[in-house]
Amino acid sequence: MKKLIRITVILGIIFLVLHSTPKLALRTCVFFMGYPKTAFISNIAEDGYHNKMDKNKFARLNAKAYTLTKPPFEKATESELRNYLVRKKGFLYFAKYYGEL
């Protein structure tokens, strides 16, 4: 029983650390999308265009757009997965692919 509690606590701490900042949340998202190399080597910058154009929408969502400088290439759609939306929920951050529009 103690071993199960210890494992649960360790996994909980890892989850909290991986979602503690917007950039870590974005790297975690890219890693679990199946692009581990990109998650580690790509630089992350704020996406000025989307943040400016969707300012009101992002304010309601408590979110901000970020872009990868070396985005992964998805073969199925033959496109780069460049832009991501990072939302803040409480003290944690969660990222998802945002698209090019």
The 10s digit of each residue's pLDDT in 50-78 is 888 888 989 999 999 999 988 888 888 88
Total domains in the fold of the chain = 1
Residue 89 has what pLDDT?
93
Q: Which amino acid is at 14?
A: I
Helix (H) or strand (E) holding 26: helix 22-32
Provide the CA 69 distance to its chain's centre, in angstroms: 14
Domain span at 4: 1-97
Residue 101 has what pLDDT?
63
Low-confidence ranges of the chain (pLDDT < 50): none
Q: Cβ of 72: how many Cβ atoms within 10 Å?
A: 18
For 30, the token pair is 């890219």
pTM listed for this prediction: 0.85
